[in-house]
Chain A
């Protein structure tokens, strides 16, 4: 005598092997597309117009020019300027004298420890890597905070 076929009432089992395969594939795809690295930010205030300068007594400005850095500041005796020339062709970070710039800014910080502001003025059409590195050098060097309140822009 035929009847209804018996339903299999055994506890169902989740087949995890294909799921694990899919997850490991997903992991590989995601890892291939990910950019690993540490990111940070360089804060600056946008300043505009020609001749914009720091409002502080030191009035420190760092012009990033095609021939190097032109650093200008005020002293009691009057305005001072120093040109830190770059190495030809002056198109890469390695061509610019960041160590000399850091040393000069460190000496200025020694003389004016309460000053915090500076303006970075990119004058030449240089890659952003050089501008960013200049801002970085102006803010701090060797773990020492120099002029963290940066303005960016201006210039002729």
Chain B
């Protein structure tokens, strides 16, 4: 019986970096982070600054009403353009301008038996004279449970960190 020669085994010295798995993981991590922190309210509706508050409650609203200094949107789709003449924000004077907004809110309201909470995202600079008629319109459509989205600044911070421009 032939004897096998004993000796040191040769080590396999060629290493290969498996980049495909790393890329997969990187994309997953990126998507996770963007879902968690990114795409803030009204991010795709132009310049937008939320009011600041110390509230910590997570956002729960199903239907989104967004009021920026330029327009009003329902679930991210613009439905009404604000009047910005004379550098003062106003709602348009024509009643017809509100039809699309009322129709969209009615449609969203009719999708559920009970009115879901309305997540209201309002730019900090928008005056109450613009906000109030829109909230009244939403209340008329059945949305009375309002959830105002704010930028949370935590208990120890000063909410008015941006100074006196608002």
Contacts and interface: CB of A to CB of B under 8 A. Distances in A.
A20 interface: yes
Which of A92, A129, A152 has the most chain B CB atoms inside 10 A of its CB? A129
Interface residues of B, number: 58
Contacts of A124: 128
B119 A41 contact: yes
Given A39-B59, A128-B127, A34 B37 contact: yes
- Chain A interface size, under 10 / 10 to 19 / 20 to 34 / 35 or more: 35 or more
Interface in B44-71: 50-61
DSSP class of A's interface residues: helix, strand, loop or mixed?
mixed
A126 B54 CA distance: 20
Contacts of A27: 30
Interface stretch (A53-61, A68-76, A107-115, A131-139): A131-139
B19 A20 contact: yes
B108 interface: no
B7 interface: no
Interface stretch (A2-10, A43-51, A77-85): A43-51
B110 interface: no
A42 B147 contact: yes
Contact of B148 (A91, A94, A132, A153): A132
B37 A48 contact: no
Contacts of A42: 53, 55, 57, 147-148, 150
A132 B60 contact: no
A1 interface: no
Contact of B139 (A14, A48, A132, A133): A48
Nearest to B166: A129
Interface string A127-156: 111111101100110110000000011000
Interface string B131-150: 11001101100011111111
Contact of A130 (B26, B59, B155, B166): B166
Given A16-B20, A42-B147, A133-B52, A30 B128 contact: no
Interface of B: 19-20, 23, 26-27, 30, 34, 37-41, 43, 50-61, 117, 119, 122-129, 131-132, 135-136, 138-139, 143-152, 155, 159-160, 163-166
